[in-house]
Amino acid sequence: MIEQIEQKWLKSFHCVYENQSFKRAAEFLNLPTSNVSRHIALLEERLSIRLFERTTRRIMATEAGEQLYLSTQPLLEKLNSALEEVTQHSHQVMGQLKVLMPDSPALAQAMVAFCQKHPSISLSCETSLSPKEDLLDGFDVVLSFHRGQLPDSSWIAREIKRWPSSVFAAPELLQNHSTPYKLTDLSYVPCISTLTAMNGAPWIFKTPDGHTVTQKVQSTFKVNSGYLAKSGAIAGLGLAILPIDSCTDEVNSGALEVVQLEYQPADLVLYAFYASRKHTAKKILTLIEHLQHQSKP
């Protein structure tokens, strides 16, 4: 039966009952009086019973109309409350938030600050440096590092922070091997590459016109940690692509040198990914804005 009744018919019925007037109900609903009358007529026809007694002076609910109003009023109030509660989730920062992100101290501090600022958020967080595409379902936001062009995906990507990078090496390593000047020279010197993050080797560089080129490198030291890569480079285990601002002290002290090639490495970029939806929950957009703000110097 319920699938045969339109909600607007019941809404008009309730409004006529409460105002005891088709005209006042129409004004309240901002509808033509003829529409309200038609809604009542359709409802009566579908229920096969008369809901109002109409005279030239007044309108009164029949016994069936009285029973219908008293029975449906609590249900409509509960439905309206449920709809308003759901709407709050789309307009307020609240509810469950599932995040997959790298195990980074800076990101951890940012997430703690977000939860302190929004106590109505219930955070569930897992860590992974290089999440697989088929494991992303079930998360609201996925944070991951990339260099170069992003692979095709149905997810929406928002940039959080960008780190310009260079190739670094320990002076001792450059003394024991020919200093590379071109990308192809990297095939003949030891390099430090990622194990699985950012698809591992090859290294990715950017051209002046905005395109990217890749170069395979030889590596016996493969890691998924920027700290390990930097430590390995300082120890002379290989050349490494590292963010420039993370190596300032080492360059100044002489522990690392910048290796100049014909192209610069592509920037290291932290992206936030979320599923493509027409209506994105405010908690997701607020988290992304918070992370972008936290990443500013």
Out of 58, 89, 120, pick the residue that ends a domain: 89
pLDDT value at residue 175: 94
The answer to whether residues 158 and 276 belong to one domain is yes
Q: Can you give the residue range of the structural domain that contains 202?
A: 165-265
| Same-domain check for residues 234 and 261 | yes
Q: What is the pLDDT of residue 197?
A: 58
Average pLDDT over residues 137-162: 87
SS3 296: coil
- Between the CA atoms of 64, 68, 70 and 71, what dihedral angle is there, to the nearest 10 degrees? 130
Question: Which pLDDT value is given to residue 237?
Answer: 97
**54 — pLDDT class (breaks 50, 70, 90):** confident
pLDDT above 90 for 73:
no
Q: Are residues 136 and 154 in the same domain?
A: yes
Weakest-pLDDT range from 170-174, 198-202, 259-263, 282-286: 198-202
> What DSSP state is assigned to residue 260?
-
Q: In Å, what is the CA distance from 162 to each residue of 18, 132, 210, 239? A: 60, 22, 16, 21
Domain boundary among 62, 89, 116: 89
- The reply to whether 24 and 46 lie within a common domain is yes
The per-residue pLDDT for 133 is: 59
Instruction: Give the span between the Cα atoms of 121 and 29, in whole angstroms.
Output: 37
Quote the percentage of the chain above a pLDDT of 90. 53
Lowest mean pLDDT among 45-49, 148-152, 199-203: 199-203
State the pLDDT confidence band at 29, using cuts at 50, 70 and 90: confident
The CATH number that applies at residue 254 is: 3.40.190.290
Mean pLDDT in residue range 100-118: 93
For 211, counting Cβ atoms within 10 Å of its Cβ (0-12 exposed, 13-18 middle, 19+ buried), the class is exposed
Asked if the model's pLDDT at residue 258 lies above 60, the reply is: yes
Look at residue 93 and tell me whether its pLDDT is greater than 90: no
Query: Do 278 and 253 reside in the same domain of the chain?
Result: no
Let me know whether 276 and 158 are in one domain: yes
**Contact predicate 230/247, CB 8 Å:** yes
3-state secondary structure of 10: helix
Is residue 1 assigned to a domain? no
240 domain-assigned: yes
Residue 142: the pLDDT is 92
Residue 201 lies in a domain: yes
Q: What is the pLDDT of residue 56?
A: 72
- Asked whether the beta carbons of 116 and 169 are under 8 A apart, the reply is no
290 and 226 co-located in one domain:
no
Percentage of residues of the chain with pLDDT beyond 70: 90
Structure confidence at residue 277 (pLDDT): 65
Which has the closest alpha carbon to 190: 212, 167, 206? 167
CATH number (domain holding residue 69): 1.10.10.10
Residues 201 and 228 in one domain: yes
* Distance separating alpha carbons of residues 207 and 36, to the nearest angstrom: 67
Per-residue pLDDT, 256:
97
Is residue 71 domain-shared with residue 13, that is, in the same domain?
Answer: yes
**99 and 85, same domain (yes or no):** no
Does residue 42 fall inside a structural domain? yes
**pLDDT band at 115, cuts 50/70/90?**
very high
Q: What are phi and psi of 204, to 5 degrees?
A: -115, 130
Judge if 217 and 132 occupy the same domain. Answer: no
Query: Among candidates 97, 180, 174, which has minimal Cα distance to 141?
Result: 97
Q: Which amino acid is at 150?
A: L
Q: Domain ends where: 89, 110, 145?
A: 89
User: What one-character DSSP code corresponds to residue 132?
Assistant: -
Q: Which pLDDT score, from 0 to 100, does residue 3 have?
A: 59
For residue 208, whether the previous peptide bond is cis, meaning omega lies within 30 degrees of 0, is: no
Q: What is the mean pLDDT of the chain?
A: 87
As given in the structure block, the two tokens for residue 95 are: 């509810």
- Positive or negative torsion for Cα 78, 81, 86, 89: negative
Of 280 and 37, the one with more pLDDT: 37
Q: What is the pLDDT of residues 153-180, one digit of tens each?
A: 778 899 999 999 999 999 999 999 989 9
Q: What is the pLDDT of residue 288?
A: 95
- Strand 95-101 relative to strand 165-169, pairing: unpaired
Total domains in the fold of the chain: 3
Write the CATH number for 132: 3.40.190.10
Are 183 and 253 in the same domain? Answer: yes
